[in-house]
Amino acid sequence: MVKAVVGANWGDEGKGKITDMLAETSDIIVRFQGGSNAGHTIVNDYGKFALHILPSGVFYNHTTSIIGNGVAFSVPALFKEVNDIVEKGVPKPKILVSDRAQIVMPYHILFDAYEEERLGGKSFGSTKSGIAPFYSDKYSKIGFQVSELFDEDILEEKVERVCQLKNVLIEHLYHKEPINPKELLNTLHEYRDMVEPYVCDTAAFLREAIKEGKNILLEGQLGTLKDPDFGIYPMVTSSSTLAAYGAIGAGIPPYEIKSIVTVVKAYSSAVGAGEFVSEIFGDEADELRRRGGDGGEFGATTGRPRRMGWFDCVASRYGCKMQGATEVAFTVLDVLGYLDEIPVCVGYDIDGEVTRDFPVTSRLKKAKPVYKVLPGWKCDIRGISKYEELPENCRNYIEFVEKELEVKISMISNGPGRHDIIYR
Ligand code: GDP
């Protein structure tokens, strides 16, 4: 059975925690898009970890972790992460890397930084992990597939050709040091030696696993609102964040994805620039940021303070619909226990008209939040494991959100740990 774990919002919904939890009963966990630009924070028996490229199922002995063909694969990032977790006592994970995954090149990271510098104040707030230049090159057909590392003739010729092109931009647009093709080739040889033991046709491996009835988890990065087609374009990421893309980024038939667990956060947070209708500021935002997540809402990769906001029914309902959510995991609800009253955005006022439909970016820019205020529950709900034991106002909040989302909330996460979960 194939299950996807994906985000309905701007990312940082707690997908890592849900994946880590569901991995207990899974055989294979696949990353199918994105790269090491975002992070998942996971708290389990081994400690607290920030994973960027490794799937969040690496903490179990029985799982195989796959870097799918859709991933922006940073070779050094993968091995650094593996070393980090092994140093902290986690058993060495079983990893497979798709022979069709493409490689984040050192110049992708440089181009990301150069472009942000060139754009100055108009920058996208990139994490500078090379993701946008990587995907641009992939679709311009000048990317490097893992399989190409093993064909020396192709590799040498391609390195020369690509360097010529990149160096024109480096010299004349960015005025920086040109790339040395020999050095680049050496780096790629190092990458080749590092990945060789892990490379295979992961799509074939997954096909076989499906046939054998294995449990497979597809782990998404970021959320619907960062999808290049359906998100807040252009302030989006460069690969699709939707469950549907899981079929492509992992190489499995779309009809095999039977369950789409969509992770929705009990309040809003976002990193980087872009429209954010229910955003809050000042002390109100500072307090939620400080209390949020597990030890504050700061980026797992960058440490940047996240932008904060109230729960947005319009964006989250849309987020669930575009994912094709079959169920919702509602996360970080425990964080809201300090509030007397909790505003929830139930509509967007655009030019005097209120809508419940999430609009395109040009209209979104004009949207003002319409709030409904729900009563808080004023207590700590961590440690509760039965739905009926939650305070009434807390259940009311969940049920209100569920009605707005139009999808069943099957899990409620009330703490960062593996076992902080309430099934309904
Ligand atoms: P991801 O990218 O979707 O995996 O999300 P992140 O890992 O960036 O952000 C989620 C943060 O919230 C992490 O620090 C988690 O440890 C934490 N977290 C996840 N679920 C819960 C929860 O139910 N309650 C609390 N307090 N923290 C949670």
Are residues 65 and 160 both part of a single domain? no
Q: What pLDDT sits at residue 124?
A: 72
Question: What is the domain-level CATH number for residue 112?
Answer: 1.10.300.10
Question: Among 153, 173, 197, where does a domain finish?
Answer: 197
Q: 67: closest CA among 55, 82, 84?
A: 55
pLDDT digits (tens, 9 = 90+) for 268-285: 999 888 999 999 999 999
Which candidate, 123, 118, 131, 71, places its Cα nearest to that of 95?
71
Q: What SS3 class is residue 382?
A: coil
Q: Tokens for 112, please give them.
A: 């990301």
Task: Map tokens 């994970």 to a residue.
Answer: 93
Could you identify the atom of ligand 1 that is nearest to the CA of residue 415?
A: 24
Question: What pLDDT is recorded for position 301?
Answer: 66
Contact 278, 311 (CB under 8 A): yes
Environment class of 153 (CB within 10 Å of its CB; exposed 0-12, middle 13-18, buried 19+): exposed
- Answer yes or no: do 32 and 156 share one domain: no
pLDDT of the chain along its 424 residues, tens only?
Answer: 999 999 999 999 999 899 989 999 999 999 999 998 877 788 888 888 888 999 888 889 899 999 999 999 999 999 999 999 999 999 999 999 999 999 999 999 999 999 988 988 777 767 788 999 999 999 999 999 999 999 999 999 999 999 999 999 999 999 999 999 999 999 999 999 999 999 999 999 999 999 999 999 999 999 999 999 999 999 999 999 999 999 999 999 999 999 999 999 999 999 888 999 999 999 999 999 999 988 899 876 677 899 999 999 999 999 999 999 999 999 999 999 999 999 999 999 999 999 999 999 999 999 999 999 999 999 999 999 999 999 999 999 999 999 999 999 999 999 999 899 999 9
**Count of beta carbons in the 10 Å neighbourhood of residue 58:** 25
Q: Is residue 96 part of a domain?
A: no
Mode of pairing for the β-strands spanning 409-413 and 327-331: parallel
CATH number at residue 54: 3.90.170.10
- Print burial letters for 213-235: b (CB count within 10 Å at least 16), e (below 16): eebbbbbbbbbbbbbeebbbeeb
Please, are residues 407 and 421 in contact by the beta-carbon 8 Å criterion? no
Domains identified in the chain, total number: 2
Annotated active-site residue 12? The verdict is yes
Last residue of a domain, one of 197, 229, 252: 197
Q: What six digits make up the tokens of 173?
A: 């647009």
Q: Which two tokens stand for residue 50?
A: 């920030």
Nearest-angstrom CA–CA distance, 342 and 284: 12
Kind and range of the H or E run holding 49: strand 47-51
Please indicate whether residue 137 is annotated as part of the active site.
no
Any domain includes 95: no
302 lines ligand 1 (CB under 6 A): no
Structural domain contains residue 94: no
| Whether residue 13 has its Cβ less than 6 Å from ligand 1 | yes
Q: Which helix (H) or strand (E) element contains residue 245?
A: helix 243-250
Listed residues 197, 215, 230: the one ending a domain: 197
Regarding the beta carbon of 300 and ligand 1, being less than 6 Å apart is answered: yes
From 15, 17, 334, mutation site for ligand 1 pocket: most ligand atoms within 8 A of C-beta? 17
Question: Residues 394-413: pLDDT tens digits?
Answer: 999 999 999 999 999 999 99
The reply to whether 242 and 317 lie within a common domain is yes
Domain housing 158: 102-197
